[in-house]
Amino acid sequence: MKLSEEAQAALDAARAQSATTRRPTVAALEERLYLPVPCLDHGFVRVVDYMGDDAAIVQAARVSYGRGTKKVSTDRGLIRYLMRHRHTTPFEMCELKLHVKLPIFVARQWIRHRTANVNEYSARYSVLDTEFYVPRPEDLAVQATHNRQGRGEVLDADEAAAVLALLRRDAEQAFDTYQALMDEHQLARELARIGLPLSAYTQWYWKIDLHNLLHFLSLRMDTHAQYEIRVYAEAIGDIVADWVPLAWEAFVDYRLGGLFLSAQGVAVVQRLLAGERVTREDSGLSAREWRELMARLRPDSAGEGSAG
């Protein structure tokens, strides 16, 4: 990722400004403010503004006149209680605003999360930078066989080189055409851009409350999410951990690191704890569910057809 001189200067100027405020501030996030975190080859995420902190969650939960906090240990306990019992509205009282540069195919997955505010760079109004995403060789993988929407083995070096050459050739040609359509044929920008690839980079301002952000992260940090959006989700996760450390800890314990047992899964665990032998066949679980459950609950003996 490389910023233009103009962009860098604007960013430096924004960082140089400061003022006094009565609002809650978070020192760790102030430190990060405006600085882009590189994502993929040309993308980034950077914090443009934030509202609230861990204490603001407590304050809203208590509908307080003041800051609403007591001891840190009490606040931590309340935040964990709220997260555990899915009392989501106090988490909505914190807000984060990001500036993101991302490939269009990532933007199309991202935008499915509707509970956010978005203002995207307009390719009807302005000309897009000549920047497109090219995966690293180690991120090129064959179609997964057991999972219709995932990746399997990594390509070998020759295959990878061939694939990257094709992707680069087409993208460069499409961007050349884009310029030619506008410069030589004066074609309207809104038409000239229709031949650009889905790997082209776009930019947007994206603003979301903490509850919906955590929901976004729980889906997009998941191993089922496409690698390219996961890179962004993980970068945002690091930001959130700095911003609201107590809420983040509760999120990791009660969402990210947890496990949902289905009704059948509960029954399997009950039988196992009662000392019964349980087989996949009499578990009521599908082969895949059985495999995934055992992998989590008996990490040392996963994949066996029975347990107990």
Catalytic residues: 220
Q: Is 223 in the site for a second copy (CB under 8 A)?
A: no
Options 2, 22, 71, 146; binder of a second copy; rule CB under 8 A: 22
Residue 84 touches a second copy, criterion: CB under 8 A: yes
Among 28, 70, 72, 185, which residue sits at the site for a second copy (rule: CB under 8 A)?
185
The site map against a second copy for 29-48 (x = CB under 8 A) is -x--xx-------------x
Q: Does 25 bind a second copy (CB under 8 A)?
A: yes
Binding-residue total with a second copy (CB under 8 A): 138
Considering only CA atoms, which of 92, 47, 48, 53 is closest in space to residue 245? 53
Structure token digits, residue 111: 């935008």
Tokens of 260: 């949902």
- Do β-strands 306-307 and 117-120 pair in parallel, antiparallel, or remain unpaired? unpaired
Region label for 186, one of left (φ > 0), alpha (ψ between -120 and 50) or beta (otherwise)? left
d(CA 250, CA 61): 16
Among 37, 45, 56, 213, binds a second copy (CB under 8 A): 56
Question: Cβ closer to a second copy: 155 or 240?
Answer: 155
Q: How many CB atoms lie within 10 A of CB 160?
A: 18
Q: Distances in Å between the alpha carbon of 156 and those of 119, 144, 145, 180?
A: 40, 15, 17, 36
Residues between 146 and 165 that touch a second copy (CB under 8 A)? 148-152, 155, 159, 162-163
Euclidean distance between CA atoms 193 and 294, whole angstroms: 49
Binding mask 90-129 for a second copy (x = CB under 8 A): x-xx-x-x-x---xxx-xx--xx-xx-xxxxxx-xx----
User: Residues 130 to 149: which contact a second copy by CB under 8 A?
Assistant: 133, 135, 140-144, 148-149
Crossing angle of helices 227-243/210-220, nearest 10°? Answer: 140
> From the CB of 100, what's the least distance to a second copy, in Å?
10
Q: Which of residues 226-285 bind a second copy (CB under 8 A)?
A: 226, 252-254, 256-266, 269-270, 272-274
Binder of a second copy out of 38, 76, 129, 203 (CB under 8 A): 203
Distance of CA 268 to the CA centre of its chain: 33
Q: Which of 1, 15, 70, 305 binds a second copy (CB under 8 A)?
A: 15
Instruction: Tell me 193's DSSP state.
Output: G
Per CB under 8 A, the list member of 1, 72, 157, 194 interacting with a second copy is 194
Contact 246, 75 (CB under 8 A): yes
**Shortest distance, position 103 Cβ to a second copy, whole Å:** 7
